[in-house]
Amino acid sequence: MREARNGIWSAISGMTCRPHVLVADLFSSESLPIADEFHMRKYVYVPCLACFLALTTYLHVLDKEVRGQYVDQMEPLRIPGCVPVQGQDVPDRMLDRDNRQYNEYVRMGINFTTLSNGILVNTWRDLDSASLDALKYNEILKSVVKVPVYDIGPLTRVVDPTGSEGNNVIEWLDMQPVESVIFVSFGSGGTLSAEQIAELAWGLELSQQKFVWVLRPPAGNTKDGAFFTSGSSVPCGPLDFLPEGFMNRTGTRGLIIPLWAPQASILNHESVGGFLTHCGLNSIYESILAGVPMIAWPLYAEQRLNATLLTDELQVAVRPAVLPVVEEVGREEIQKMVRSLMEGEEGKMMREKVKLLKESANHALMVNGSSYKSMCEFITGCQNNG
């Protein structure tokens, strides 16, 4: 991002009609000073929840107050007006304070508030009200954050109903009963260990629920690491990691898709009633907008914060007792979670809650809705140049 700055500068300076506003993604906040040279307004866009934004912008205060590693704190981290953050939920870059990445992260939070005219955050009032209120109205937090915060979400891709025509997953789903299928996917970057894949397979099998599973080869240099290069040059595909006879035993109850699936279309299919997700923000929003409750299986970074919000505050997801990155999740626990999501009382309650949340998202985006209003305020702010 540092190296991209010259390119951005030249691109803007080469324009005959220059834009009035620069909006930089959170990782390119270093480009913000370029806007000054061209007398542009400058904003940061944060594609995260408000609790993550509050933590990032308040971090330099915690950095002075807290001694030792955050993960070792007995007390949760307190951010004015926000729900306290458990040490184990902090983003990866906060795990090791001696690492240079950590210092860059602290600095990034400071830069959001000192180099910009405001911060756009991809969330909405009813999803994230405690942290959003704190960012907007808590005097102590406001004195640290300094610039206005605009909740303009949820921004997601629009599902193209014709885009998945002829897709065999959708055709398979068409034949299943309403809300009977759990969709399992760890996103484009998420992979599990070979052992964890096997446990997950057992868990799904034992739950006796219908499933669609986007399966990627295991991560890491496990004993199966040589798998891709050994023997013939034909890749065997991830199916070889499943327990013996799994496909036969689950038969027509399950569908395994290698690597990639049209996620939004699947989630919006009426046969899908649950989503086992790694808690990336796009996945969470796609699930909420489809009215589908979740099993939260965070893999890295801010996903742990995401998972806590979904389970503890919004109650639209269940999650394993121990963080999956800390300890393997066993087949019994997986079976229990899947059953409770798909056919238990808990699942029913979560399904009702997530449907309300879906409505609230649609309201937020409508004329005079909360996100609509924030967007109007942002535009007004852009016009007050000077």
Chain positions contacting ligand NAG, by CB under 6 A: 29-30, 33, 48-49, 52, 104, 107-108, 111, 245, 248, 279-281, 301-303, 305-306, 367-368
Decide whether 32 or 173 has the Cβ nearer to ligand NAG. Answer: 32
Q: Could you give the C-alpha distances from 226 to 13, 214, 229, 232, in angstroms and in order?
A: 50, 22, 6, 12
Strand, helix or coil at 88?
A: helix
Angle between helical axes of 345-365 and 331-343 (0-180°, round to 10) = 60
Taking Cα atoms as reference points, which of 279, 315, 314, 290 lies closest to residue 185?
A: 279
Min dist. Cβ of residue 135 to ligand NAG (A): 12
3-state secondary structure at position 357 = helix
Amino acid at 285: Y
* Residues, the chain: 386
What is the rounded CA–CA span in Å between residue 350 and residue 315?
6
Residue closer to ligand NAG (CB basis): 111 or 180: 111
Name which of 170 and 375 has its Cβ closer to ligand NAG. 375
Q: Could you give the angle at the alpha carbon of 47 between the alpha carbons of 338 and 366, nearest 5°?
A: 85
Q: What is the DSSP string of 8-48?
A: HHHHHHT-SS--SEEEEEGGGGGGHHHHHHTT-EEEEEE-S
CB 136 within 8 A of CB 242: no
Give the DSSP letter of residue 386.
-
- Least distance CB 17 / ligand NAG (angstroms): 27
CB of 165 to ligand NAG, least distance (A): 30
E strand or H helix at 180: none
Q: How far is the CB of 301 from ligand NAG (least distance, A)?
A: 4
- Shortest spacing between CB 38 and ligand NAG, in angstroms: 16
CB 221 to ligand NAG: min, Å: 23
Sign of CA dihedral 376, 380, 383, 385: negative
Residues 6+ apart with CB under 8 A from 267: 183, 275, 286, 287, 290, 292
Tell me whether residue 154 or residue 291 sits nearer to ligand NAG (CB atom): 154
* Residue with Cβ nearer ligand NAG (111 or 207): 111
Q: What is the 3-state secondary structure (H, E, C) of 96-118?
A: CCCCHHHHHHHHHHHHHHHHCCE
Identify the H or E element spanning 182: strand 181-185
Owner of token pair 């742990």: 304
Residue type, 333: E
